[in-house]
Structure 1
Amino acid sequence: MSQPVTGLAPDGVSTVNPQESIDRLLRDLRTRRTGLSDREATRRLVVFGPNELARRRGTTWPRDLLAQLIHPLALLLWLAGLLAALSGTTALAVAIVVVILVNALFAFIQERHAERAVEALSAYLPLTVRVVRDGTPKPVEARELVPGDVIMIEEGERIPADARLLSGSVELDLSTLTGESLPLLREAEPFDTHGPILQARDLVFSGTSCTEGEATAVVFNTGMHTELGRIAALSQQVGHEDSPLEKQVKHVARLIALVAVGMGAAFIPIGTLVAGLSLGDAVNFAIGLLVANVPEGLLPTITLALAVGVRILARQGVLVKRISAVETLGSTSVICTDKTGTLTLNRMRVTRVWTPERVLDPVAPSAGDVTPPAATRMSRAVVACNNAELDPAQPDQEHGDPTELALLHMAASLGVDPATRPEDRLAQFHFDPALRRMSTVDRQGGLVRVHTKGAPEELLTLCTRVAGPGGDDRPLGDVDRELFDEMVTTWAEEGLRLLAVAERTVDEAELTSLTRELAERDLTLLGVAAMIDPPRPEVPDAVARCHSAGIRLIVVTGDHGLTAQGIAEAVGIGHAGLRIVTGADLERMPEAELDERLASGEELIFARSSPEDKMRIADALQDQGHVVAMTGDGVNDAPALRRADIGVAMGRSGTDVAREAATMVLTDDNFASIVAAVEAGRRVYDNVRKFIVYIFAHATPEVVPFLVYALSGGRIPLPLTVMQILAIDLGTETLPALALGRERAEPGLMARPPRERTQNVIDVPMLARAWGLLGGVSAVLVLAVFLVTLLSGGWQLGDDVSSGPLHHVWQQATTMSFLGIVACQIGTAMAARTQHASLRQVGVLSNHLLLWGIAYEVAFAAALVTVAPLQSVFGTAVPELWQVLFVLPFPVVVWGVDELWRWSTRRRMPGARTGARTGARTAGPA
């Protein structure tokens, strides 16, 4: 139905309906066909404002930067820095502050890059436009246009505002608004005013392009009141939500803070009342307990792991604009993909040619094959009825509509030179989307011919004859029509786009009164070209990998449903059922029915989709708990790209608007790159979990000694000092943790379903493994070496070790506790490399960075216990040989216990073993 367009209204100028009669529209706009006066235009400019897209004022940069500095994990680092300063290690405190600032600045810069979609929209508005003012055409700046202005539109120009045609006709590229790839005819004639405003045949819209023709039009909406402005407003209204990892990290930070502060506070009464410590000593030990619980290296390790993921994806042609999005990719459960250029090559080509004699293959013609006369006539007709330009010597210099270029290539393959155009084009009847055909009237070889191409079902009704095998024509009978209809139906079901070609000869006398209706009648059917935009060769394998990974695929396109269905089925989409939902169907569909359709699990095609449709689909899927990746390339896709969890824009064919609104940009426009990005995201998420296990596992052997000391009432001395804990957390621990962030993909990575949106990055089984299994074994080993060292030096329960000969023994014992934790770290690092598979499947020596990290860890620990200045700072002493030999098996013991646990887990889950074997074949290199 007719849709009124609302907007600001200066005095006397009412809100208008652009689809009402032209006289009524001019009256409502208080203008004339000769345009406004300069004085009136100036007055309206004050009321309506400039014809430009306004940006909503956002948060200021200091506030954005502050938000990064008070992130929950950043607050933990501030706490760690404060504790380091209180413990007298100023250098470590300064280093922690530097890490906080660098991380905050990096994240701040990444976020700022994603906030420029509206500025990019402005690139779609021309700088100047020809306007009729005071009855005289004159150039003015596009930003000075107002409703009521009469503008002049010419070929190659961008439309500066929404307007109603007054005279002339133009072909309009509406792809930026509708996703429709073919130019559409717009004419200044009265038409039926029912239907969506974007389909009105006498309206033109801001930001679109005139590909052919000339016209004058009266402006009825400018700036943010245009269709382009409406999209800009939608894009601004869609805010940014935290990624799953960002939410998880905040949750983890609160958990860690609660545990650290709680244990530290609990130690003060325990230390004073049970252990008999002074209040000052109890507070110092509480600080040590807090330091032991705070994972100082967690935030920089996560940030750097995500940054590594960004760099890896960049090398694969995927540019990620928000660093946390790398992890979101790994949890993607639904990919809503466009068709053209993403699943396909975006290169239309003719794959079959039907002629009344036989079907030809223009792609790979048989050797010695003679082109039938009807095929030659058909090739000459498509060369004549064509506005594209093809230079066979320079394929990169092609210009024109992809469909017409494909027809020229077909003609060349059938032996007709595409450059051989008729001597004179006498008339052209533009492609009409309602009639679904285009015709030209050409003087060719001394004769005047009408050449027509269009939809087969439309063209067949205009044909009375069909080309014969000898070059002569014969009547088109009922049997011919039945066979023709059967062929068209069969080919259309295969997803081929069909164009029929016909011609007829006219007398010179007919030219003076030749209308379209008279020209396009009594035609002779020459043949049918079947075209397809071929699927990318790598897409079927990528689709299969999505299915094995439990990722559902939904095609959301502006193209026709049958065409999309053919491509989808060709690449393997729809293995569990495929249904087409048109834009009109979706518009009538209530929310409950849409939810039911999306919850069915079948893969869908949403054809002829609008921007609101894409947003509605994304919202519905997200409400059902899915993590949604949405592809797009046009201006109309910007709101949906921002609304989806992962907006994926096309780097080659996409608009600046789409690229700015998206989270991720594909430099090769390839669907397979999305799947590679999902795999990389899963790998990054797994690696984040791996180094969290690694870091958390060391909290147990660091905390347990404090508890043993407190529970023994101080009769067992403290096995670690605060400085030794800091040396572990910020010294020996960091590089191996970073190396785990580069771990290769675990076998079976893309053979398991995506995780739930609500799944925590830290869960109970993970904590049980880190704190209980790995940490518990490490704590037992560390306490064992500590007590054995004390007892071998003559210590007995309750002896004072603060002075005298036992003080050196205690220093050696704490040194062995420190070295014991370092040794256990090595075993934990090797064990944490895999969550399910055995280390042999991953490769014991495959992570070279981890090996270097372990070498650094050993060298750093050796320096702390042998270099005199460091001994005095960290309270260490040179161990004896038997003590070093005591801790050498620790890595194997820790790793071996975990390996046995994973082996028993795999035995209880036979499906995991199958998945691991399957995934081992697809695991990529590190």
Structure 2
Amino acid sequence: MQYGPNELRRRGGRRWPAELVRQLVHPLALLLWLAAVLLFIVGSFVVAVAVVLIIMLNAAFAFAQELQAERAVEALAEYLPLRAKAVRDGRPVEIDATQLVPGDIAIIEEGDRIAADVRLLAGAIEVDMSALTGEAVPALRSASILDVDVPVLRAHDLVFSGTSCTGGQARGVVFATGMMTELGRIAALSERVEQDPSPLERQVRRVAWLIAAVSVALAFAFIPVATFGAHLSPINALVFAAGLLAGMVPEGLLPVITLALAVAVKVLATRGALVKRLSAVETLGSTDVICTDKTGTLTENRMRPMAVWTATGRTDLNDTGGNPAGTLPDAALDAVARVAATCNNARLRPGEEPSGDPTEVAVLLAAQLLGADTDADRREAGRRWQFHFDPELKLMSTIDQHGDRLVVHTKGAPEAVLPRCSALLDQQGRRVPLSDPDKERVTAQVDAFASDGLRVLTLAERALPIQRRPPHRRVDAERDLCFVGLIAMLDPPRPEVPQAVADCRTAGIRIIVITGDHPLTAVSIARRVGITDGHPRVISGEELDRLHEYQIAELVRDEPDIIFARASPEAKLHIADALREQGHVVAMTGDGVNDAPALRRADIGVAMGRSGTDVAREASTMVLTDDNFASIVAAVRSGRRIYDNVRKFIIYIFAHATPEVTPFLVFALAGGAVPLPLTILQLLAFDVGSETLPALALSREPAEPGLMQRPPRPRAEGVIRGPMLLRAWLFLGVLVSALQMAGFFYVLTRAGWRPGAQTGAGTHLNHAYRQATTMTFLGMIAGQVGTAFAVRTQRASLRSVGVLSNRYLLAGIVGELLLAAVFVYAPVFQQILGTTALPPLDLLLLIPYPFIVWGADELRRYLIRRHAARRRSPP
């Protein structure tokens, strides 16, 4: 390929040595380095080397998980390639932007993100050049304005990759792609900017420091206890403290959470929700307000023309082809068909899917059913000027050659077009004055259509004087119009939306409809899908524009059932601001260019993948590939599940602190009369060999029953709460500690040990002591298996999610048990760890351990559920 793909090469990305170093210096790794240094100082080289190996192994594991998470996010680009419109084989086609090459004829329309540097050949557009110049005001770029001897970025006939078209339509020839563009030149000079840590990442880092503080406090508190209680030498006490410190550090905390978020991103991508930031998955879980558009999100965005209304009455349409049944020749209907076919940019080709905006496709289908010529080439040949649809004016107009005259054809919202009309077209095609009763009659018909859930567009036209230059300003063209008729279209609700809305209600999530449609249409659709069941407060665009920001804030606070109709993009921004200031976590949907500010302002900006513009997709946090409201609810469910799983993993980590500390405390408090129930190297083997795999598996835990019946958690709620610590340290941890110490004393006393008896090398109790420490080691692992099953649910019974439903956890436990067998039976590890083979009877004693831990926590959760049920039940 001569030019290569039209894409920017990655420069200044993460370099693997720097990433690996980052894993070696996070708070938990620093604790291990401290422990290793202390061990080297006191001469315990074997244990020190073991600690350093643990640091390296965990850093390598964390680095691998970071890379996997980064690749998972980058892979989303394959789902959302930047698209571009170009002329290929004489026909406009939509292609992957990476396929653009110099010499292509590119088509640029409102809402497109420009994918290459282009010299305009025809048309005029307004371009947001802020990505290159920093100037927020759109710049005019026109093929008719040629500049010489000016800086490239100021040339009026050039547009550049990375900028956005905010209005107009043009064609041009591509002259630079990829790294040869102005954007590529800047990218080559730029360094990668580091992203700020997300709220979840900050909370997790605080958790890491909390663990570090507790570990250091316990380790150094052990020194005086061991010195004065167990009468150890200061050197030996320091050795034990360093080993205890190393064993208590959960090195895999951060990479496992990163992996959990990356997995959630992949799962959501398969369900039609592409999350562009890992941390946004967690934010979704706390969303308590969804501000949703109607068209395409709640509905199918597949408009079908249902009826036409003119001054002579209503005409029902059918989609079987031919003229509407039972109609007579009518000049007003002919005019409706003509305006619908000419003031339109959609395309209908035999044997192909219609292309264009869904509303325009429906209008063009209506024109076809009414017998109009809908050929796009002949339509464009007769077009002399176009005023693109303006979301604020809610109008679109074209100036077209009709016979020997130029005619303005206009379509738009009834409340926007009707005030610009001064005449009405009757059945004979005569232009008669539009009286107030006529306006009332038209308005009543609009309301009747809207109350049935139909979307209504008004069509109008005006013949321009002969031999006069056509107006090139909207205000001059869109005046003194003649009302032609109404087209009513149906956009049916998506079948899965009512259930998604019901899920939001039970989950405590408020839904606010913000739409550009007619108020009655918005209310009708909202009732059909269950968003409102009464008489909601409806705020129209005009009323909303008159309100001050504090009044909007009062509305969204005091009116629980509210719908904003004919809302402008600025209004969406004010609504998002008001909700955020009141402490809500807001998800906002949008698809247009002007929705970008609101999408950026919301906690979760949700853009439409099918109907949305490139600008909206770029400004959003999440993109819906199916434009479906139900996908937002699925993402919220996934966010809640991930946050729950993070907490489960943290409880799992914290629960190990108690059984890890208990053997050292028993040894120290017994004043040396009880030998150390667990050696330092066994503790390190437990920490490294048994913790990682189940922790990873817990990140894949399915959602608990009732997940969407809980209210959203407060924005400021921390990832760690007091009940979690009590459950981990004082319940699960104490249970495992009791079981492991029971196993230790059982094996030791069975061999004839009494407090104070010598168990060192060369004594007759040394073999029994090695078996006893092995029993402690395996008892901790067996208790840990029970802990892993126990933390799978917070309140629900494990049976409700399925005991064997997490196959990753089952595989992790199998791997953990195999590794434990290697530690106990492999001669090399027996020599290093001080383990030894246990008789079958002792191994049988370990079998109940997981069930005791799991069963006790199951009973605790049952009692909590019963107490909660009693509190909810009426007296």
Which of 767, 770, 775 aligns to 2:728? It is: 770
Residues 1:790 and 2:752 aligned together: no
Shift in CA distance, 349/260, structure 1 to aligned 2, threshold 3 Å: same
Question: Conserved in 1, the CA contact under 8 Å of 2:248 and 2:687?
Answer: no
Q: Classify 1:736/1:487 alpha carbon distance in 2 versus 1 (closer, same or farther; 3 Å).
A: same
CA contact (8 A) 2:341 2:364 kept: no
1:306 corresponding residue in structure 2: 261
Q: Displacement, 1:309?
A: 1.3
Tell me the equivalent position of 2:54: 92
Distance across 1 between alignment mates of 2:546 and 2:583:
23
Q: Give distance in 1, aligned partners of 2:347 and 2:413.
A: 23
Change beyond 3 A, Cα 1:856–1:314: same
Task: Give, as a single letter, the amino acid of the residue that structure 2 aligns with 1:97.
Answer: A
Cα pair 2:397 2:408 within 8 Å, conserved: no
User: Partner residue of 1:377?
Assistant: 334
Task: Give the letter aligned to residue 735 of structure 1.
Answer: L
Matched, 1:329 2:275: no
Distance in structure 1 (CA, Å) of the matches to 2:360 and 2:814: 64
Residues 441-461 of structure 1: CA deviation (Å, up to 9, x unaligned): 7657x9999977566565596
Measured in 2, the distance between the counterparts of 1:747 and 1:712 equals 46
Correspondence for 1:698: 656
The residue type equivalent to 2:277 in the other structure is R
Q: Distance in 1 between matches of 2:829 and 2:661?
A: 23
- Could you list the per-position Cα deviations for residues 49-89 of structure 1 after superposition, in whole angstroms to 9, with x for gaps in the alignment? xxxxxxxxx99999999877654455456667778985331
TM-superposed CA distance for 1:778, in Å, is 1.2
Shift of 1:662: 3.6
Change (3 A) 1:335 1:456: closer
| CA drift at 1:739 | 1.4
* SS state at 1:733 partner: helix
* Long gaps (5+) in structure 2: 1-11, 40-45, 78-110, 123-130, 157-161, 173-192
Shift in CA distance, 741/537, structure 1 to aligned 2, threshold 3 Å: same
SS at match of 2:283: helix
Q: Which one of 444, 460, 467 corresponds to residue 427 of structure 2? A: 467
Deviation at 1:747, TM superposition (A): 0.6
Query: What corresponds to 2:247 in structure 1?
Result: 292
In 2: Cα distance, 1:891 partner to 1:429 partner: 74
1:899 aligns with 2:858: yes
Three-state SS of the structure 2 residue aligned to 1:299 is helix
1:152 and 1:299 mapped to 2: Cα distance? Answer: 49
* CA 1:491–1:113: 2 relative to 1, 3 Å: same
Distance 1:59 1:462, change over 3 A: same
Contact map agreement 1:319 1:665 (CA 8 A) in 2: yes
Q: Do residues 874 (structure 1) and 833 (structure 2) align? A: yes
Conservation of the 8 A alpha-carbon contact between 1:691 and 1:737:
yes
The one-letter amino acid of 2:49's match is: G
Counterpart residue identity of residue 596, structure 1: E
User: Following superposition of structure 1 onto structure 2, how do residues 580-591 of structure 1 map, counting pairs within 5 Å?
Assistant: 580=539, 582=541, 585=544, 589-590=548-549
Check 1:109–1:713 CA distance in 2 against 1; reply closer, same or farther (3 A cut): same
Question: Aligned-residue CA RMSD in angstroms?
Answer: 5.1
> Which AA in structure 2 matches 1:302?
I
TM-superposed CA distance for 1:905, in Å, is 0.7
Q: Check if 1:499 corresponds to 2:466.
A: no
Identity of counterpart residues, as a percentage? 49
Aligned partner of 1:850 in structure 2 is: 809
How many aligned residue pairs are there?
Answer: 777
- The one-letter code matched in structure 2 to 1:250 is R
CA contact (8 A) 1:335 1:628 kept: yes
Are 2:137 and 1:153 aligned? Answer: no
Query: Could you say which residue in structure 2 is the equivalent of 1:267?
Result: 222
SS where residue 208 of structure 1 aligns? strand
1:828 positional shift: 1.4
Residue 535 to residue 843, structure 1, CA distance change in 2 (3 Å): same
Instruction: Give the structure 2 partner of residue 832 of structure 1.
Output: 791
Q: Per-residue deviation at 1:805?
A: 1.1
Aligned to 1:202: none
Greater shift, 323-332 or 766-775, is seen at 323-332
**CA distances 1:519-555 after superposition (whole Å, capped 9, x unpaired):** 9999987642113555444333323222221122334
Task: Answer with 752-761 or 656-665: which moved more.
Answer: 656-665
Could you say which residue in structure 2 is the equivalent of 1:550?
508
Cα separation, 1, equivalents of 2:279 and 2:57: 24
CA distance in 1 between counterparts of 2:133 and 2:688 reads 61
The 2-side partners of 1:706 and 1:304 are apart by 33
Contact residue 507 and residue 709 of structure 2 kept, 8 A:
yes
1:458-496 per-residue CA deviation (whole Å, 9 max, x = no partner) reads 55963456328xx99999998766544322233345564
Q: Which moved more, 1:628-637 or 1:579-588?
A: 579-588
AA aligned to 2:142 is I
Using the TM superposition, name which of 81-90 and 851-860 deviates more. 81-90
When structure 1 is superposed on structure 2, of 642-651 and 865-874 the one drifting more is 642-651
For the residue of structure 2 that corresponds to 1:277, the secondary structure is coil
1:390 aligned partner: 347
Question: Whole-Å Cα distance in 1 between the matches of residues 566 and 215 of structure 2?
Answer: 55
Query: Following TM superposition, by how much is the alpha carbon of 1:842 offset from its aligned partner in structure 2, in angstroms?
Result: 1.2
- Whether the 8 Å contact between 1:382 and 1:407 is mirrored in structure 2 is no
Shift of 1:896: 0.9
> How far apart are residue 563 of structure 1 and its match?
6.0
State the 1:831 CA deviation: 1.5
Deviation of 1:109 after TM superposition, in Å, equals 8.0
Q: 1:722 to 1:143 in 2, by over 3 A?
A: closer
Question: Structure 1 residues 282, 330: closer, same or farther in 2, change over 3 A?
Answer: same
3-state DSSP of counterpart to 1:805 = coil
Tell me the equivalent position of 2:846: 887
Cα deviation per residue 1:228-274 (whole Å; 9 max; x = unaligned)?
A: xxxxxxxxxx9976434223212211211111000001110111111
2:369 paired with 1:413 = yes
Per the normalisation by structure 1, the TM-score is 0.71
Q: Structure 1 residues 477 and 512 mapped into 2: Cα distance closer, same or farther (>3 Å)?
A: same
In structure 2, relative to structure 1, the CA distance for the partners of 1:672 and 1:145 (3 Å cut) is closer
Instruction: List alignment gaps of at least 5 residues for structure 1.
Output: 1-57, 132-141, 166-175, 178-205, 215-237, 915-926
Cα distance in 2 for partners of 1:543, 1:290 equals 50
Residue 820 of structure 1 deviates from its aligned partner by: 1.0
Letter in 1 for 2:699: G
Q: Is the 8 A contact 1:381 1:452 kept in 2?
A: no
Matched residues in 2 for 1:111 and 1:376: separation? Answer: 53
Q: What is the DSSP-based 3-state SS (H/G/I as helix, E as strand, rest coil) of the residue aligned with 2:426?
A: strand
Distance in 1, Cα, partners of 2:795 & 2:145 = 60
Scaled by the length of structure 2, the TM-score of the pair is: 0.75
> Residues 60, 746 of structure 1: CA spacing in aligned structure 2 closer, same or farther, 3 A cutoff?
closer
SS at match of 1:785: helix
Q: CA 1:798/1:310 → structure 2, altered by over 3 Å: closer, same or farther?
A: same
Question: How do residues 667-706 of structure 1 correspond to structure 2 at under 5 angstroms?
Answer: 667-706=625-664
Mapped to 2, the partners of 1:65 and 1:735 lie a distance apart of: 21
Distance 2:408 2:292 in 1: 41
Alpha-carbon distance in 1 for matches of 2:245, 2:716: 29
C-alpha deviation, 1:275, in angstroms: 1.1
8 Å CA contact 1:64, 1:108 repeated in 2: no
| Map 1:604-643 → 2, pairs under 5 A | 604-605=562-563, 617-634=575-592, 636-638=594-596, 640-643=598-601
Kept in 2, the 8 Å contact 1:114–1:663? The answer is: no
- Cα pair 1:436 1:455 within 8 Å, conserved: yes
Q: Deviations over 1:830-888 (max 9, x none)?
A: 21221111121111222222222222222221222122111111111111222112221
1:404 Cα offset (Å): 4.0
Say which of 726, 732, 752 aligns to 2:690: 732
Structure 1 CA distance for aligned equivalents of residues 747 and 352 of structure 2? 80
